[in-house]
Amino acid sequence: MSKTKSAFFCQSCGYESAKWLGKCPSCQQWNTFVEELVQKDKGKNSNDDWKSYNGERKNKTISLNDITSSEEKRIVTTDGELNRVLGGGIVMGSIVLVAGEPGIGKSTLFLQNGLHMKGVSILYVSGEESEQQIKMRADRLKASNEDFYLLTETSTQIIFQEIKKLRPQLIIIDSIQTLHTPFIESSAGSVSQIRETAAELQRFAKETNTPVFLIGHITKDGSIAGPKILEHMVDTVLQFEGDRHYAYRILRTLKNRFGSTAELGIYEMTGSGMRGVSNPSEILITQKEENLSGTAISATIEGLRPLLIEIQALVTQSVYGTPQRTTSGMDLRRLQLLLAVLEKRGGFHFGVKDVFLNIAGGLKVEDPAIDLAVLCALLSSYEDVPLPMNICFAGEVGLSGEIRAVNRIEQRIAEAEKMGFEKIILSRYNQKGGSNLKTNIEVVAVGRVEEVYNLLFA
């Protein structure tokens, strides 16, 4: 009998060591190493039975010039938001990892997409739910598909046997952390099991040209559970995020070999499943009857999509010795930078004020073009003077108090006009980009913080 082989794996990043270590040399975490059995059967791997799935594939050395280039084939789904984040559709032979918090709606989204894709043979493999539970969810979604097949199994050996019989055109695995291969003796969900089962599915996807979706879990700090190599093995990594207290979810691209990584899709959670939001600016701007101080609308860009978001600021007299600085949806250091600019260049005494900033809707925005709207919201709350409801902003604020130009100003202006705004304030250095744009919205160009204050509050 062969000797059982074991190794120690870091549960945080998947680093492998021959002996136990107190501190991981890769991620610098303490007490994360766990011993796992990694003895693998040296005999024939029965999971390689798909070799004749689409004909015998021969691997040999070939010159790059001898390869004929062709546009990759994609399966276009009925979900426009999913097509956007994938770069135009599902690429044949690609393997996609989708991660998110429990209960965020990952299983619902891909079950719904599978049921709506008519004419495509789909195998949905679930290791977490029974057939009856999935049927209940499908009934709630009010969708059906004759080419949609269900398998509740966790052993990759059995899964590949069923795949060979069915020959599906698309496979959805829910979830990768529940699968186990008989060639690794550790338990399901361990680092070695996740790595080996993902490697088997990757080989299958590439050799049979069949796209595979892997639904994954995340850890308490928000990173994808399992070894970091899991993210390197797949072609696309999607993060499904959002607050349970809000009705909408965001599908964000973290990695994509077939498209842009700056894309995102927005969904609204309804009783009948996920609904793609084609005009997200409507749900990100609060509909209020009266105008209140401390709110400003910013024209931002997420990926290739323009959005109008509402910035809310509250400036109050500090009760304690040290003023508070609290942000939600924006980098705290960016807020402190803008407060320093207002203190130095405008003479406003924010050093004795508590400042609270919130981006409505729970969005997290990194676009520097929101600086001007944040600054105007702070001044509005400081002076307790509401801003006009028909005005929005787009501009970056520099340390010397200048309003800097931002990119893709034409799209920002067009989105503001579409949402009914009558005036947009931006940098005078953006006038070249917006001068040729035929629009009914009034474009106001400013160069410094003092000009903005005199324009709005003087």
Residues 180, 136 share a domain: yes
The domain that holds 264 is classified in CATH as 3.40.50.300
Residues 383, 237 share a domain: no
The last residue of one of the domains, among 229, 251, 278, is: 278
Residues 240, 315 share a domain: no
Q: Is residue 54 part of a domain?
A: no
pLDDT of res. 436: 59
pLDDT of res. 403: 94
Q: Which amino acid is at 265?
A: G
**Which residues, in sequence order, are CB contacts of 272 under 8 Å at separation 6+?**
140, 141, 142
Q: Is residue 430 part of a domain?
A: yes
Q: Is residue 63 part of a domain?
A: no
Residues 394, 329 share a domain: yes
pLDDT of res. 357: 95
* Contact in structure between 240 and 253 (CB atoms under 8 Å): no
Residues 186, 329 share a domain: no
Q: Residue 361 burial (CB < 10 Å; 0-12/13-18/19+)?
A: buried
Residues 127, 258 share a domain: yes
Alpha carbon of 215 to those of 70, 87, 226: distances in Å?
Answer: 29, 19, 12
Residue 30 lies in domain = 6-37
Virtual torsion, Cα 349, 352, 353, 354, nearest 10 deg: 140
**Cα separation of 171 and 165, whole Å?**
14
Residues 216, 93 share a domain: yes
Q: Which amino acid is at 380?
A: S
Q: Binding site residues, as ranges? A: 100-107
Write down the pTM of the prediction: 0.74
Would you write out the chain's pLDDT as a tens digit for each of its 458 residues? 455 677 888 877 778 888 999 999 988 889 888 887 766 554 444 455 555 555 555 667 888 888 887 777 889 999 988 998 998 899 999 999 999 888 888 999 999 999 999 889 999 999 989 999 999 999 999 888 899 999 999 999 999 999 999 999 999 999 899 999 888 877 888 888 888 899 999 999 999 999 999 999 887 777 787 778 888 899 999 998 876 666 778 888 889 998 888 788 888 888 888 888 888 787 778 766 678 899 999 999 887 788 899 999 999 998 888 899 999 989 999 999 999 999 998 889 998 999 999 998 778 888 999 999 999 999 999 999 999 988 999 999 999 999 999 998 998 998 898 888 999 999 998 866 555 567 788 999 999 999 999 999 87
Q: Is residue 47 part of a domain?
A: no
The last residue of one of the domains, among 278, 308, 326, is: 278
Q: Is residue 146 part of a domain?
A: yes
Q: Is residue 48 part of a domain?
A: no
pLDDT of res. 47: 55
Sheet harboring 353-359: ordered strands across?
A: 325-328, 353-359, 305-317, 295-302, 391-394, 423-427, 442-446
The last residue of one of the domains, among 223, 258, 278, is: 278
| Residue of 442, 441, 436, 439 lying closest to 455 (CA atoms) | 442
Residues 269, 316 share a domain: no
Residues 298, 258 share a domain: no
Q: Is residue 264 part of a domain?
A: yes
Residues 86, 22 share a domain: no
Residues 240, 104 share a domain: yes
Q: How many domains does the chain have?
A: 3
pLDDT of res. 437: 62
Residues 352, 273 share a domain: no
* Contact in structure between 103 and 126 (CB atoms under 8 Å): no
- The H-assigned helical ranges of 314-444 are 332-341, 371-383, 409-418, 431-434
**Which residues, in sequence order, are CB contacts of 3 under 8 Å at separation 6+?**
39
Q: Binding site residues for ATP, as ranges? A: 100-107
The domain that holds 297 is classified in CATH as 3.30.230.10
pLDDT of res. 221: 72
DSSP 3-state of 120? coil
**Cα separation of 386 and 297, whole Å?**
12
Q: Is residue 93 part of a domain?
A: yes
